[in-house]
Amino acid sequence: MILIGGKPLLEHQIELARSHGFTDIIILACYRADLIKRYIGDGSRFGVSVSTIVEREPLGTAGALLAAMDQLAENFVVLYGDTMVNIDLQRIWERHRQSRADATLLVHPNDHPLDSDLLETSAGGWIEAFHNRPHATDHWFQNLVNAGLYVIRKAALEPWAGGSRAPLDFGKDLFPALLNRGSRLLAYNSPEFIKDIGTPERYDRICAEYQTGVVARSSLRTPQRAVFLDRDGTLISDKDCLRRAEDLELLPGVANAVRQLNHHGWRAVLATNQPVVAKGWCSEAELQRIHNKLETLLGREHAFLDRIYFCPHHPESGFAGERAELKICCQCRKPAPGMLIQAAADLNLDLAQSWLIGDSTSDIQAAVNGGVRSVLVRTGCAGRDGRYPVAPHFVFDTLGQTVDFIIQNAEPSAQHS
């Protein structure tokens, strides 16, 4: 019932649900349930139908839901009552339905992965493991955390029909148990706004983000703007075909630059050509380790990438040890714009408002082909490859200078100001 912008948090959630076509709502309440019932009633004045179930003793986040199982639909969305959320619910709902997942978890990278409970996914986005704190320091993890919003297929909860005796938590108990049973848990990775108001400081910050429009423009219903980042020579030292995570080194100032993008509402999207995979020099598993290390090093400095796209292909075949199935002419290898186009679909990007930063002419040509503005950085090969006769919009010495320039010169607009 706490107010954000003069309106109870719960009312924000009900409006979000209704605006996406969800009108049957069950509130699982305990503490001060009387207050909630009095304000929400049967939901009719908000244009929805609400029933409130009051638990007598705390059953845990999942326990409360299991106790209400007979009232649940075949598929349903779970929101926590202490989170401010603005996500495109139809989008995650469709993804859940199309993938036929047992449960779809909203996940995202965060700016403190080292002290967060993390999860590990397959290339297709299926959850393969939960890694709870504290984390081993000799291992690199994906930066992905459970954001606390789910779409669940009721049938997957059948083993718990009748409720549970011990309190059950979604993250700590139910999802790991489902995974152990072989259920298919989909990680739906989204940069949209979802934050819990767990402390007075967080509450104040969320109120401020509500007032300045950060919350409103985060939904993927609204076009987003991105900065595409090349990897080798732009974010990390150019080692001429990096093939082991141990050899990866961040360039100076890179984590700070990425963190600036995170703070200023730009989606930070990595797009990298990795022909080492097609050449048989680096497996997909090792490439994942490399990117886990990249995310870990950025995470130590409170920076994150919203997405990582890579092209594993290479067009010229006929070499020993190569992987024939990847030796193709594809649409994703820069300068082709395939990775940019895929990101635009995944993140509802406005490419005309987006940028690409790279150190080679194939990066700059990819920006031209994808319709984004470009910056050549004088790190890595600094454009000396000379493969494509193309000029960038701007040239800077470092990624940090480039990001400062982009942020300072961003055009304010109704959606992005």
Q: Which residues are catalytic?
A: 230, 232
What is the rounded distance in angstroms from the CA atom of residue 102 to the CA atom of residue 52?
25
Site pattern 308..327 for Zn ion (x: CB under 5 A): ---x-x--------------
Q: Which is nearer to Zn ion, 209 or 232 (CB)?
A: 232
Q: Which residues contact 94 (CB under 8 A, 6 or more apart)?
A: none
**Which among 145, 227, 178, 225 has a CA at the least distance from the CA of 62?**
178
Peptide bond into 109 cis (omega under 30): no
Place of tokens 């939904």: 219
Minimum Å gap between C-beta 330 and Zn ion is: 3
Minimum Å gap between C-beta 327 and Zn ion is: 11
What is the rounded distance in angstroms from the CA atom of residue 301 to the CA atom of residue 318?
43
* Interface stretch with Zn ion, choices 18-26, 150-158, 330-338, 383-391 (CB under 5 A): 330-338
Q: Is 207 helix (H, G, I), strand (E, B) or coil?
A: helix
Which of 245, 305, 326, 332 touches Zn ion by CB under 5 A? 332
Nearest-Å Rg of the Cα atoms of the chain is: 23
What is the rounded distance in angstroms from the CA atom of residue 138 to the CA atom of residue 169?
29
Which of 225, 267, 333, 334 touches Zn ion by CB under 5 A? 333
Minimum Å gap between C-beta 71 and Zn ion is: 48
Minimum Å gap between C-beta 328 and Zn ion is: 8
**Which among 290, 278, 302, 299 has a CA at the least distance from the CA of 231?**
290
* Interface stretch with Zn ion, choices 163-171, 200-208, 213-221, 328-336 (CB under 5 A): 328-336
**Which among 250, 243, 289, 263 has a CA at the least distance from the CA of 379?**
250
259 binds Zn ion (CB under 5 A): no
293 binds Zn ion (CB under 5 A): no
Minimum Å gap between C-beta 333 and Zn ion is: 4
Amino acid in the structure at residue 219: S
Element containing residue 81 per DSSP (H, E): none
Q: Are 109 and 191 in contact, with CB atoms under 8 Å apart?
A: no
* Interface stretch with Zn ion, choices 57-65, 80-88, 306-314, 358-366 (CB under 5 A): 306-314
Q: Which is nearer to Zn ion, 267 or 334 (CB)?
A: 334
* Interface stretch with Zn ion, choices 82-90, 91-99, 286-294, 304-312 (CB under 5 A): 304-312
Q: Which residues contact 7 (CB under 8 A, 6 or more apart)?
A: none
Q: Which is nearer to Zn ion, 35 or 328 (CB)?
A: 328
What is the rounded distance in angstroms from the CA atom of residue 287 to the CA atom of residue 265?
28
Q: Which is nearer to Zn ion, 41 or 315 (CB)?
A: 315
Q: Which is nearer to Zn ion, 330 or 407 (CB)?
A: 330
Minimum Å gap between C-beta 291 and Zn ion is: 16
Which of 48, 69, 177, 330 touches Zn ion by CB under 5 A? 330
**Which among 396, 402, 370, 371 has a CA at the least distance from the CA of 383?**
396
What is the total count of residues that contact Zn ion (CB under 5 A)?
5
- Contact positions with Zn ion (CB under 5 A) in 141-170: none
Q: Which is nearer to Zn ion, 109 or 338 (CB)?
A: 338
**Which among 296, 287, 254, 245 has a CA at the least distance from the CA of 143?**
296
* Interface stretch with Zn ion, choices 54-62, 205-213, 303-311, 405-413 (CB under 5 A): 303-311
- The residue ranges that bind Zn ion (CB under 5 A) are 311, 313, 330, 332-333
